[in-house]
């Protein structure tokens, strides 16, 4: 079986819900038309098509477009050595979709990271709480509307007694600098 043949089986099972598979540089991608059915499609991909390993779940912020979010699932089959990418779009006003952590336990931390960094919720997740930022942190720092320079804030009794160090960016790398110190990412002013 090839990844394209497996993607076509997915398309045959779910019809209009799944887009025609696209192949680019040997990687096959399908898009789902309804985020609410992602768990159903993933369960079929695991149980019937043999995608028994969830490599990654990531999110893309399409700021300024509708739908705003794209969630990307990277699947792999250890038995047939095939890779398949599933994409689903989520509108900003909804910002929620079903969890797949009941299908692949590895989704647990991936979904928590997406929630923590982007603010997208996963309904039915067993432990949806922040994984990188502290509880009570008011922002989602990987959203494109989060300023590169950060946001000044006071969060008493959470992590710091002084203003939290959220500002000071953007951190810029000088391409082709004369040495490693110059190439190191740091806050740059007009003079530097």
Query: What structural domains does the chain harbor?
Result: 3-146 (3.30.460.80), 147-192 (no CATH)
CA 124 to CA 101: how far, in whole Å? 9
Q: In the structure encoding, which two tokens stand for residue 125, read together?
A: 């997740």
pLDDT of res. 136: 81
Task: Give the pLDDT band of residue 2 (cuts 50, 70, 90).
Answer: very high
CA 150 to CA 163: how far, in whole Å? 12
- The answer, yes or no, to whether residue 39 has pLDDT greater than 50, is yes
Contact (CB, 8 A) for 7 and 48: no
What is the mean pLDDT of the segment spanning 176-187?
A: 73
């Amino acid at each position: 079986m090839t990844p394209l043949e497996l993607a076509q089986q997915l398309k045959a099972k779910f019809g209009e819900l799944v887009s025609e598979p696209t192949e680019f540089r040997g990687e096959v991608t399908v898009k789902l038309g309804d985020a609410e059915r992602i768990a159903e499609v993933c369960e079929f991909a695991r149980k019937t098509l043999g995608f028994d390993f969830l490599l990654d779940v990531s999110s893309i912020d399409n700021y300024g477009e509708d739908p705003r979010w794209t969630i990307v699932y990277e699947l792999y089959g250890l038995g047939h050595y095939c890779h398949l990418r599933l994409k689903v779009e989520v509108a900003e006003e909804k910002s929620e979709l079903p969890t797949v952590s009941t299908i692949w336990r590895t989704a647990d931390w991936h979904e928590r990271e997406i929630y923590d960094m982007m603010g997208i919720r996963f309904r039915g997740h067993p432990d949806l709480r922040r994984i990188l930022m502290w509880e009570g942190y008011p922002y989602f720092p990987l959203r494109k509307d989060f300023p590169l320079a950060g946001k000044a804030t006071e969060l008493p009794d959470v992590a710091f007694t002084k203003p939290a160090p959220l500002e000071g960016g953007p951190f810029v790398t000088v391409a082709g600098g004369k040495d490693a110190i110059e190439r190191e990412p740091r806050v740059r002013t007009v003079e530097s």
